[in-house]
Amino acid sequence: MRVGLDVGGTKTDALAVDDDSRIVARVRRPTGWGPDAVAQGVLEAVRALAGEGVDLASVRSVGVGIPGQVDSATGRVVHAVNLGVDDLDLPGAVEDELGVPIAVENDVKAAAFGAYALRGRRDGAAIRSMAYLNLGTGIAAGIVSDGILWRGARGAAGEVGHISVDPNGPLCRCGQRGCIEALAGGGAVAERWARRGELPVRDIFDAAETGDPSARQLRAGLARGVAAGVRVLVLTADVDIVVLGGGVTGLGDRLMRDVERELQASAEASAFMRSLRLSERVELLPPGSPAAALGAALIGAAGDARHDTEEALVHG
Amino acid sequence: MRVGLDVGGTKTDALAVDDDSRIVARVRRPTGWGPDAVAQGVLEAVRALAGEGVDLASVRSVGVGIPGQVDSATGRVVHAVNLGVDDLDLPGAVEDELGVPIAVENDVKAAAFGAYALRGRRDGAAIRSMAYLNLGTGIAAGIVSDGILWRGARGAAGEVGHISVDPNGPLCRCGQRGCIEALAGGGAVAERWARRGELPVRDIFDAAETGDPSARQLRAGLARGVAAGVRVLVLTADVDIVVLGGGVTGLGDRLMRDVERELQASAEASAFMRSLRLSERVELLPPGSPAAALGAALIGAAGDARHDTEEALVHG
C-alpha cells in the first residue's frame, strides 16, 4: 500500500493505492498554517486513512505534493507561501513518526504525474508524453514523458506562467508585463476584476456573457493566456497532449470553448499551427480527479523503488 | 570510426570520429539540389574523407543532419525546401552503397547533440541539460538532457521559433504575428531590412550604430526575439544552459551583448527572472564548431549501438 497526499492551501487530500496503483481509500482534511501545523497535518491525514480501512502497517511509502519549491532529493520545502512555510524539512519532521520513506514533490509536478497515470488508464490508446497545465491562482505546468517526470536543472521545468507573450500586456506580480499568469492566472484575473465574490472567474464569465466590457476583456485575456501556455508546451516539449487542471477549470466547457476558439484562430492564421492540431490535443482533467495525491503516491512508490533498485523513474 | 555529415543549403560538412568520439578528419563539399543530388552528395562526402586519411572500411555508421522534417526511426526526410527535397528515403538511397547503417536527424537536433558533446569536453564542470538555439534563416532549438536528445511526440520538440511573444509584432511567414522567428530569424530580419547586401544582419548592426532608426528597431527586435527564446527554453525545459549557434551568431559579442542586455532588463523588472540568472546561462557556440556533423556522427553511433544493445540513447 502506498499513500499520497496533496497538501493544498486550505485542505489536504489523502489517498491510498494498492500494488496495482488502484485507489482504495481517500479522505480530505483541513490544512494547518505554518511548518509545524503542516507537518502535523501530514501525520494526521495519513492516520485518517486508517478510518477508511487502510492498514497503516502495510503502508510502504508516503508521497506528498505541496505548493512550494521542493528539493525532491531531500524533500526540503521552501517558499510555500500559501501554507505559511518558509523552510521545512518535511521528511525530517514526519519520517520517524511514520516509519516509512517520505517523498516530497511540488504539487503541480505531482499532479502532472498523477494526471499522466489517470490518462493512461482512462484511454486505451497510450500517450507517451503529456503536459499538465495547472490553472489555479497562479499558472505552472508539469511535463511527463515515457513515464518520466521532467524536473529540469533546478526543478523549475514547466514554469511557463512567467513567459511573457505580450510586451504591452498586464503587469504581472513577478514584475514583467504580459506573462501567461498575468493574463490567465486566477489570482491576477480576480485582482483586476476587483469585485468581491466567491468565484470571481465564474463571475467574470457570467458578466462577459451579459456584455460587460471589462469582463469581456478579462475573459478574452484568460483564453489567450491559456492558449499561449498550450502553444509553448507543445512547441517546446512536443507533448502528445496538454491536460488542463486546477481551480479555474471548474468552468469546464465554458473555458474549453474559449481556449479552443483561440487555438483555432492561430490555426486559421498559420498553416504551421494548423499542422499541430492543437485544439485536438487539449483536454480537461476530469472534475474531482485526485491527480496530485495520486501522483504523490506514485512518486513515493517510485522513490522507494529507486532506493531498492537504483533505477530512477523520476528524473532528477 | 563513425562518420557524421551536416548537409547544409550550400555546403556539406563531413567528419570522422574515432571510438573516443575525437574528430580525426573533416572535409567540406558543395551540396547538390534535389533528392538525387543530395543523396549523391552524401556518398561523395563520405568518400572524400578517404582523401583525409580515413580508412572507409573501418567506418561503422554514418549519421546525417539535414534541414527538414525527419522521421528519425526510418530516416525519411520531407520538406527540406532549402535542398529542393520534398520527400527522400535517404537510407534507402545510400545504405546499400555505403554498406553501414545510416541515421538521419534534423540538422538543428543534430547540432544540439553535437554542441552538448562539445560543451562537455570544453568545460570540466559537467552540465546535465542544454538547449541549443539555432539562429539561422529560421529559428529552432534542440534540447539534450542527461545525454538524451529530446525529440518529442512528433519530432517537433524545440520548435520555439513559432511561439508568438507579441500579438502586435511583425507578421511571420507562418501567418502569426510576433513569432520569435519573425523578430529574430535572419531571413525575416533581412526581408524587413530590404537593402541588398552579403550579410544583411551585420549591415543592420552597423547601421544601427550610426543611428539608422529602422536598423535600430530591427536590431532591438532581434535581441528581444533571442532573449524570448532563451526564456521559453529555460522556463519550460529548465535546461542548465542555452547555447546559441547558427549563422546570425557570426556577429559574436555584438549579438551577445544585446541579448544579455535584454535578459538583464527582465531580471531588473522581476525578482523571479533575476533568480533564474539567465544571462549567466547563455553561451555562444564557439565559431567553426562542427556541432551538427559531430552530433550526426554520435547519433549514428548511438543508433548503431542501439541495434546492438537495445539501449536507446536517442530518445524517440
CB contact under 8 A, B162 and A235: yes
Nearest neighbour of A236 by CB, restricted to B145, B160, B174: B160
The residue ranges of every structural domain in chain A are 2-106+289-309, 111-284
pLDDT averaged over every residue in chain B: 92
Smallest CA–CA distance from B234 into chain A, residue: A157
CB contact under 8 A, B237 and A152: yes
Decide if B116 touches A, using CB distance below 8 A.
no
Number of DSSP helices (H) and strands (E) in chain B, helices first = 10, 13
**Confidence label for B315 from pLDDT (cuts 50, 70 and 90):** very low
Whole-angstrom distance, CA of residue A288 vs CA of residue A267:
31
**Confidence label for A169 from pLDDT (cuts 50, 70 and 90):** very high
Specify the pLDDT at position A121. Answer: 65
Per the CATH hierarchy, to which homologous superfamily does domain A2-106+289-309 belong? ATPase, nucleotide binding domain (3.30.420.40)
Smallest CA–CA distance from B150 into chain A, residue: A237
With a cut of 0.90, is the ipTM above it?
A: yes
CA distance A159 to chain B (A): 5
Specify the pLDDT at position A122. Answer: 62
Whole-angstrom distance, CA of residue B155 vs CA of residue A237:
10
Tens of pLDDT, residue by residue over B204-247, are 999 999 999 999 999 999 999 999 999 999 999 999 999 999 99
Global pTM reads 0.93
Per the CATH hierarchy, to which homologous superfamily does domain B2-106+293-309 belong? ATPase, nucleotide binding domain (3.30.420.40)
pLDDT averaged over every residue in chain A: 92
Kindly state the cell numbers that stand for B165.
511573444
Specify the pLDDT at position B194. Answer: 82
Statement: residue B314 has pLDDT above 50: no
- Average of per-residue pLDDT across A197-219: 95
Tens of pLDDT, residue by residue over A37-88, are 999 999 999 999 999 999 999 999 999 999 999 998 899 999 898 899 999 9
Specify the pLDDT at position A313. Answer: 41
Tens of pLDDT, residue by residue over A103-152, are 999 999 999 999 999 987 666 667 889 999 999 999 999 999 988 999 88
Specify the pLDDT at position B126. Answer: 73
Whole-angstrom distance, CA of residue A278 vs CA of residue A256:
12
Whole-angstrom distance, CA of residue A112 vs CA of residue A129:
11
CB contact under 8 A, B175 and A269: yes
Do B2-106+293-309 and B111-284 share a fold? yes
Residue A25: partners with Cβ closer than 8 Å, 6 or more residues away? A15, A16, A49, A52, A53, A54
CA distance A161 to chain B (A): 9
Decide if A32 touches B, using CB distance below 8 A.
no
Q: Kindly report the CATH number that applies to the domain delimited by B111-284.
A: 3.30.420.40
What backbone phi and psi angles, to 5 degrees, belong to B95?
-65, -45
